[in-house]
């Protein structure tokens, strides 16, 4: 398959011996942690930035991101010689702000959570004539993310039994659903994982309407949108889309197990989806007949994350296990 933009790479699809043994079925890991910026975000955001650059009408791009979307925007903008401004909430690790500056971006810190930073980004876009790169809520972003499914189609021996992914604002979910429809896999079960306290999709599914969370109380700040995007909510109404939550502790334990078993360090937001296997949640869904007994093969989208390192992991261990 040809690349949709010049920035993302076709990531490895690895069989996980540890997860396969736990599940009694083949489990594949789609290693988005191998992307140049450390997460899947470069797919959609690279695609959108390229679209902006080709229009020749932009004075630069601006993105409000607590991490990976900002990294992807800064990286793509540098490659395209576009000025980039990234607005971060104060909850963002210092490591992330430094990485963004290293990519040549202008960094501003505003507010406590993503929604505050986003309001400032919209204001600056208006006053300075910049193009807003939304971290998750834009059709060009979803289009770029859909490339994940095209790669799965090219690599897998058969249709997946289910796909597991993490949900923050819902951009990855939208891209995966779009891709599944495009390759004729529209009925594949998709398990959407969030952490308690950053569970805007799960709350919306239960309320049958989009809900604004009062605050983000999870340590998985990269899942920290107070409200899911409308398109993600629409997809969640499909019978093959399942929304579940795990605790920060379960997500952390999944990060630690994944590091031990697969020798890859991912952020807590990614641990939410890995916990679907490690905490026994998928087995429970099978017992409840909400997922098929035979899931061969199960695909885990390892969304990765650039905002984790050993000190950050130790910080999470201290805060979550206090």
Looking at residue 200, what is its pLDDT?
93
88-92, 118-122, 259-263: lowest mean pLDDT where?
Answer: 88-92
Residues of the chain with pLDDT > 90: what percent? Answer: 76
- Listed in sequence order, the residues at least 6 apart from 233 whose beta carbon sits closer than 8 Å to its beta carbon are 170, 201, 204, 205, 210
The tokens of 71 are what?
A: 């990294």
Which residues lie across from 302 on neighbouring strands?
Answer: 31
Question: First vs last Cα of the chain: how many Å apart?
Answer: 47
Handedness of CA 153, 68, 214, 278 (dihedral sign): positive
Looking at residue 1, what is its pLDDT?
34
Looking at residue 226, what is its pLDDT?
85
* pLDDT tens-digit series, residues 116-156: 888 999 999 999 999 999 989 999 999 999 999 999 999 99
* pLDDT tens-digit series, residues 56-79: 778 899 998 767 899 999 999 999
Looking at residue 66, what is its pLDDT?
63
pLDDT at 2 over 50: no
Show the CA angle centred on residue 32, arms to residues 176 and 237, nearest 5°. Answer: 20
Q: What is the DSSP code string of 86-98?
A: EEE-TTS-HHHHH
pTM of the model: 0.93
* pLDDT tens-digit series, residues 276-289: 999 999 999 999 99
Looking at residue 194, what is its pLDDT?
95
Q: Read off the DSSP letter of residue 304.
A: B
Looking at residue 94, what is its pLDDT?
82
Rg of the chain in Å (alpha carbons): 18
Question: Residue 162 phi/psi, 5° resolution?
Answer: -170, 160
Tell me the pLDDT of the chain averaged across its residues.
Answer: 92
- Listed in sequence order, the residues at least 6 apart from 67 whose beta carbon sits closer than 8 Å to its beta carbon are 92, 93, 96, 221, 222, 267, 305, 306, 307
* pLDDT tens-digit series, residues 194-253: 999 999 999 999 999 999 998 888 888 777 788 899 999 999 999 999 999 999 999 999
pLDDT at 3 over 60: no
262 near 16, Cβ under 8 Å?
yes
Looking at residue 290, what is its pLDDT?
95
Q: How many residues does the chain have?
A: 322
């Amino acid at each position: 398959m040809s690349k949709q933009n010049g920035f993302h790479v076709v990531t490895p699809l690895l069989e996980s011996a540890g997860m396969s043994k736990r599940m009694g079925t083949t489990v594949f890991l789609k290693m988005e942690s191998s992307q140049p910026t450390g997460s899947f975000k470069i797919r959609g955001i690279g695609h959108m930035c390229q679209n902006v650059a080709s229009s020749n009408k932009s004075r630069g791009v601006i993105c409000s991101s607590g991490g990976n979307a900002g990294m992807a925007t800064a990286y793509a903008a540098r490659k395209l010689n576009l000025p980039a401004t990234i607005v971060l909430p104060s909850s963002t690790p210092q490591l992330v702000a430094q990485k963004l500056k290293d990519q040549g971006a202008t960094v501003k810190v505003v507010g406590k959570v993503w929604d505050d930073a986003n309001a400032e980004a919209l204001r600056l876009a208006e006053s300075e004539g910049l193009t807003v790169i939304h971290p998750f809520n834009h059709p060009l972003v979803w289009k770029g993310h859909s490339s994940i499914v095209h790669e799965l189609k090219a690599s897998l021996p058969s249709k997946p039994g289910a796909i597991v992914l993490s949900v923050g604002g819902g951009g990855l979910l939208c891209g995966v659903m779009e891709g599944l429809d495009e390759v004729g896999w529209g009925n594949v079960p998709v398990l959407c994982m969030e952490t308690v306290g950053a569970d805007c999709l799960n709350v919306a599914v239960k309320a049958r309407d989009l809900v604004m969370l009062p605050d983000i109380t999870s340590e998985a700040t990269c899942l920290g949108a107070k409200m899911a995007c409308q398109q993600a909510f629409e997809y969640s109404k499909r019978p093959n889309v399942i929304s579940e939550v795990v605790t920060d502790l379960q997500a952390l334990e999944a990060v630690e197990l994944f590091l031990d078993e697969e020798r890859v360090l991912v952020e807590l937001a990614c641990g939410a989806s890995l916990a679907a296997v490690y905490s026994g949640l998928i087995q429970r869904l099978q017992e409840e007949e909400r997922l098929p007994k035979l899931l061969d093969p199960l695909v885990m989208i390892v969304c990765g994350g650039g905002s984790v390192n050993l000190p950050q992991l130790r910080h999470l261990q201290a805060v979550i296990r206090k």
